[in-house]
Amino acid sequence: MEEIKKIGILTSGGDAPGMNAAIRAVVRAGIHEGFDVFGIRRGYMGMIEGDIIPLTSQLVSGIIQKGGTILQTARCKEFMSYEGRKKAYDELVRFGIQAVIVIGGDGSFTGASIMTKEFDIPFIGIPGTIDNDLFGTDYTIGYDTALNTVVEAVDKIRDTASSHGRIFFVEVMGKEAGFVALRSGIACGAEGILVPEEKGQMEKLRKYLAERARSKKSSIILVAEGDEEGGAIPIARIIRNEFPELDIRTTILGHIQRGGSPSAFDRVTASRMGAAAIDALLDDQKSIMIGMVNNEIVHVPLSKTVKLHKDLDFDLLKLAEILI
């Protein structure tokens, strides 16, 4: 394989706090190893349009603490077609880019995995999503910051809930997974955590509410947006009908979970993964994701991380129930 001298980096899918720390690490570790590093703006959309800029150490100065992504991101339907990926490949060739590092989630890695096979160009994935739903890694960049954002918001909701003796259904992000709901629920001392991975949770909730109805203390029920009942609003409606005596409110946390200055954990994880992506290219890796398992950097084939499902930690879910 020809020696790699020029590499591209892009951010794709939903943005996540810590993406900038990863960009900074890729640029500075890449320059340290003698690479020319190019920023591909707006994800695969920018790759197709040739929206590509050279990145320098100076350009990534002062970004480690910034949420979001200086390269911007986008979801790109055109990249899902061969014609779109061919246009993207032609632009990479035009800039002389010989390998690409993509920071994103499973959707972004699916496209990368296909493009590596079609055009024999190395793609190295860095897991960047607040959902933490990627197979092969304990943590994705942004997850820890999102947990802290949820905890801070729910602690505030707890103040007003306890003042009024109310029940709050609080919906958190996570796509079809319950990773955000589970750990933030434990951290907030939630009285209920509804996740897509567990069936029959409504019965448990009804039993809890029937028992607590007499106490009139506040309750926080965290609901993962992908929950089987469809989220906090439909669940609150069902419960309101069945327990008319309860004082119920709902809060959808939404996109505040995607913003904010990344936590120290996310900054260090992103820095480690960014540097590990450069090492992977030096090691002639072609189609892998950089993961972290038991605090060690691992390589996971992209084909596996996009295909295999990451299981929720059911011991943690059981702990949450015990601690209510």
Note the residues at the interface with ligand F6P (CB under 6 A): 14, 105, 129-131, 173-175, 225, 258
> If we measure between CA atoms, which residue out of 40, 45, 58, 57 comes closest to residue 101?
40
Q: Which is nearer to ligand F6P, 258 or 310 (CB)?
A: 258
Contact 262, 145 (CB under 8 A): yes
Q: Which is nearer to ligand F6P, 231 or 291 (CB)?
A: 231
Q: How far apart are CA 317 and CA 270, in angstroms?
A: 27
| 15, 36, 106, 131: the active-site residue | 131
Element of type H or E holding 24: helix 19-32
Q: How far apart are CA 40 and CA 199, in angstroms?
A: 42
**What is the three-class DSSP state of 271?**
helix
Q: Which is nearer to ligand F6P, 113 or 129 (CB)?
A: 129
Q: How far apart are CA 188 and CA 185, in angstroms?
A: 5
Instruction: State in angstroms the smallest separation of the CB of 174 from ligand F6P.
Output: 5
Q: How far apart are CA 40 and CA 298, in angstroms?
A: 25
> If we measure between CA atoms, which residue out of 259, 14, 18 comes closest to residue 150?
259
Instruction: State in angstroms the smallest separation of the CB of 16 from ligand F6P.
Output: 7
Q: Which is nearer to ligand F6P, 158 or 258 (CB)?
A: 258
Question: Given the DSSP bridges, would you call strands 219-224 and 167-172 parallel, antiparallel or unpaired?
Answer: parallel
Q: Which is nearer to ligand F6P, 129 or 148 (CB)?
A: 129
Q: Which is nearer to ligand F6P, 171 or 191 (CB)?
A: 171
Q: How far apart are CA 273 and CA 276, in angstroms?
A: 5
Q: How far apart are CA 126 and CA 141, in angstroms?
A: 8
Sign of CA dihedral 114, 306, 180, 290: negative
Q: How far apart are CA 47 and CA 72, in angstroms?
A: 12
9 phi, psi to nearest 5 deg: -135, 140
Instruction: State in angstroms the smallest separation of the CB of 175 from ligand F6P.
Output: 4
Active site residue 131: yes
Instruction: State in angstroms the smallest separation of the CB of 39 from ligand F6P.
Output: 21
**What is the three-class DSSP state of 141?**
strand
Instruction: State in angstroms the smallest separation of the CB of 258 from ligand F6P.
Output: 5
Instruction: State in angstroms the smallest separation of the CB of 173 from ligand F6P.
Output: 3
Active site amino acids: 131
